[in-house]
Amino acid sequence: MKKKKKVNAAILIIGNEILSGRTQDKNIAFISNWLNLNCGISVSEVRIIPDVEKIIIKNIRSLSKKFNYVFTTGGIGPTHDDITAQSIAKAFKVKYGYHKEAYEILETYYGKANFNDGRKKMAKMPIVSKLIYNPSSAAPGFITKNVLSLPGVPSILNSMIENCKRYLIKGSKVHSKTVNLFTVESNISKQLNNIQKKYKKHVDIGSYPFFRLGKIGVSVVSRSTSKGKLLNVYKDLMKEIKKKKIKILNI
């Protein structure tokens, strides 16, 4: 596949257990890092929603129009509240039912005698979908149009993520450079604003306060697909730091 300059994605976390605080999400950081490092795809938006059909449908429709790809996690298991697959089918107005290949994979994995209704449910999805194979527990994820649906269990999702790559158009990797300063944001906000304006088309600059070694500091993070532009920002930033005699923390 040919590389695009900018390819973006959204992550849609589906599950009441995440919203209630009972389960802590670990998938957002993993998917975001994997997409950038392996595919040059930037995650531009993340949403967390409950297991409610109307809400899932609404979010799938809006995100799939807005981004190159949408990654969903959760709601594709064997229980009654796993409604992601049927909601995606309704969102795209395609038929929902047993996916022939998924059914065969699961029947082989569990054996006919143990292939109960709950396990059969994991083979139901938009029938036009292509499968994302699962080396951990057999139950596949699936891609419908530009929406890739994965399980919510982090260990299983992690084992499946490489099998998403075949469906993705690669973009340019986003590089980053971090400078940690012993200062407060207000002391460098004007300088950062001027640098950001100068490189606004090519570099994103963010400042993030921290407290370390008993002192308040700021991490200045620059991100760009261009290593050259990133270096120019770094040089400009270092000039401003020297002018203001700000101490750099090396970590």
**E strands of the chain, at which residues?**
7-14, 41-49, 69-73, 96-98, 124-126, 130-132, 141-144, 147-150, 175-182, 204-212, 215-224, 247-249
Count of Cβ atoms closer than 10 Å to residue 51 Cβ:
20
Domains defined for the chain, CATH in brackets: 7-167 (3.40.980.10), 175-246 (3.30.310)
d(C-alpha 220, C-alpha 237), whole Å:
9
| pLDDT for position 46 | 98
Three-class SS of 203-216: CEEEEEEEEECCEE
Cα 251 from Cα 77, distance rounded (Å):
43
Residue 166 is predicted with a pLDDT of 96
Residues β-bridged to residue 176: 223
| pTM value surpassing 0.95 | no
pLDDT score recorded for residue 251: 54
Instruction: Map residue 61 onto helix, strand or coil.
Output: helix
pLDDT score for 1: 46
> Rounded to whole angstroms, how far apart are CA atoms 223 and 227?
9
Helices (H) and strands (E) in the chain, counts: 9, 12
The answer to whether the Cα torsion of 22, 49, 87, 72 is positive or negative is negative
- AA identity, residue 223: R
Stretches in the chain below the pLDDT threshold 70: 1-4, 251
Q: How far apart are CA 11 and CA 27, in angstroms?
A: 9
Tell me the C-alpha to C-alpha distance, in Å, between residue 129 and each of 65, 164, 230.
Answer: 18, 13, 40
CB atoms within 10 A of CB 92: 16
